[in-house]
Amino acid sequence: MKTISVVLSGLGLELIYWGIRSTGADAIGALVGLLVAASLFYILACYRGATHNRGMVLGFALIHRMTVWTLPPELSDDLYRYRWEAQIQEAGGNPYTARPNDPEWARLYDVPPGRIPTPDVPAGYGPLQTLMQRAALGFTELVSTDPVTQAIWMKLPSVLGDLAILAMLARQPWLIVYAWCPAAVIEFGWSGHNDGLVLAFVVAAWRWASWEALGAAIALKWWPVLLIPALWMRAPSWRLAAIPAILAVTAIPYIPPDWRDLVHNARYMSGYVGGWRNNDSLYSITLWLAGGREYPAKYASFAMLGSVTLWMAWRWPLERAWLGTAAAALLLSTNCHPWYVTWMLPMMAIIGPWPPLLLWIGLMPLAYRGLVSWRVLGEWEGSTPERWYIFGPVLALLALYTGKSLWTRVRSS
């Protein structure tokens, strides 16, 4: 009976993905409804238990991904940004100092206006990500000269990272938590966000206690630096030198002549923890306690995140500490795009789903209501009262489970 219900969930998910292919992102309400429905099928499959047939789980996982892989990016314009940063490199420019709206590079802006996000700022991801963009564009140019087709093929690093994660987690009892998650299918297979490749290196770092893999993850996207303390407790600390070495080597092609450009970029990227607001949760409470002053709220968030990360690194097993660190980072920061919740998936595939986080992942598609203002105004309005439709239930369930755990410990002591 359990096998039949899981098969029905897999088929239900596949039907929804075909519905998404037909709907696209033109009807935002219908799309959000389909994504939430996919979350319900996914959660049902997760709660049928951990002992699923791995071949069935992986088979459906690949089918789901193949259904959306060929779709052009509509939920996010990040692939066009990746492509532009690669074009800049081909033209001899530096993506860490150039901006899409610079008149000097206007000739490279070959997509409709507004399709390249944050046109007034330079690149902000790690140097390995920038190198991967350049390599991906070189391949896509062999396939097509059409900008949209090239954007679709720019998914390749994320798609390969996603497949690598499936391979590395294939023997984990809760493989289905990652393999069937609509967030992984949609955000990596449809939107092509670079988090797929980042998480592949994070999983490799967990599996082999590898500082080199963690260094590659950090060189792609900065947030995995928070995972260093937990690995420090469990891997030879002298190998930590691999991280600055990887960063230094991959950054050589992009070091600007003026060091102030690096400072500017660092300040800009720190806005993900405190600065501009987008689907914030606990950060909004911190900001309120700080009397609306952004800098005190930002530094308080940094301090709380650092403290929680160190405590979990000291007390918890590696995979649990990394899961808690990712969740804390998203709760305490001022930014949580829908694809950010994928950061929690791989470790839950190892230790099992936790209801508050599973609910969070299931409700996060509601944030896509921001597509309306994004398309009309070019602004992503995530930090609106509607965000509490997501974070209200999540924080309530999180408080309930935390309180229950504390009460159990008190009674047992």
Residue 66 reports pLDDT greater than 90: yes
Domain ranges of the chain: 2-75+155-412
| Residue 327 · residue 357 · CB < 8 Å | yes
Mean pLDDT for 326-338 is 92
355-363 vs 28-46: helix axis angle to the nearest 10?
160
Residue 50 reports pLDDT greater than 70: no
Residue 305 reports pLDDT greater than 70: yes
| Residue 15 · residue 44 · CB < 8 Å | no
Residue 1 reports pLDDT greater than 60: no
Confidence of residue 58 (pLDDT cuts 50, 70, 90): very high
* Identity of the residue numbered 75: L
Confidence of residue 372 (pLDDT cuts 50, 70, 90): confident
Distance CA 105, CA 118 (A): 15
For residue 49, what pLDDT is reported? 62
| Residue 264 · residue 271 · CB < 8 Å | no
177-202 residues labelled b (16+ CB within 10 A) or e (exposed)? bbbbbbbbbbbbbbbbbbbbbbbbbb
| Residue 82 · residue 194 · CB < 8 Å | yes
For residue 370, what pLDDT is reported? 78
pLDDT tens across 246-259, in order? 999 999 999 877 66
Q: What are phi and psi of 25, to 5 degrees?
A: -105, 20
For residue 256, what pLDDT is reported? 78
Confidence of residue 274 (pLDDT cuts 50, 70, 90): low
* Identity of the residue numbered 86: A
| Residue 356 · residue 397 · CB < 8 Å | yes
Residues 6+ apart with CB under 8 A from 367: 279, 336, 337, 338, 382, 387, 390
Could you tell me the maximum CA-CA distance found in the chain, to the nearest angstrom? 69
pLDDT tens across 112-163, in order? 888 888 888 899 899 999 999 999 999 999 999 999 999 999 999 999 999 9
For residue 222, what pLDDT is reported? 93
Confidence of residue 29 (pLDDT cuts 50, 70, 90): confident
The pLDDT mean for the chain works out to 90
Confidence of residue 8 (pLDDT cuts 50, 70, 90): confident
For the record, the structure tokens of 54 come out as 């791995």
Residue 410 reports pLDDT greater than 90: no
For the record, the structure tokens of 300 come out as 């308080």
Distance CA 69, CA 47 (A): 27
Cβ-defined contacts of 375-381 (< 8 Å, 24+): 378/114, 380/278
Distance CA 384, CA 160 (A): 35
For residue 263, what pLDDT is reported? 63
The DSSP symbol for 4 reads H
For residue 185, what pLDDT is reported? 97
Q: What is the pTM of this model?
A: 0.93
Residue (of 25, 61, 68) closest to 45 by Cα position = 61
For residue 315, what pLDDT is reported? 93
Mean pLDDT for 239-252 is 94
How many helices and strands in the chain, by DSSP H and E? 21, 0
Confidence of residue 364 (pLDDT cuts 50, 70, 90): very high
Distance CA 208, CA 211 (A): 9
For residue 316, what pLDDT is reported? 95
Residue 279 reports pLDDT greater than 90: no
What is the H or E stretch that residue 238 is in?
none
Mean pLDDT for 275-280 is 77
Mean pLDDT for 47-71 is 87
Mean pLDDT for 335-363 is 95
Mean pLDDT for 375-383 is 69
156-168 vs 54-69: helix axis angle to the nearest 10?
170
For the record, the structure tokens of 369 come out as 């209501």
| Residue 73 · residue 152 · CB < 8 Å | yes
Residues 6+ apart with CB under 8 A from 12: 41
pLDDT tens across 80-119, in order? 999 999 999 999 999 999 999 999 988 888 998 888 888 8
Confidence of residue 2 (pLDDT cuts 50, 70, 90): low
For residue 266, what pLDDT is reported? 64
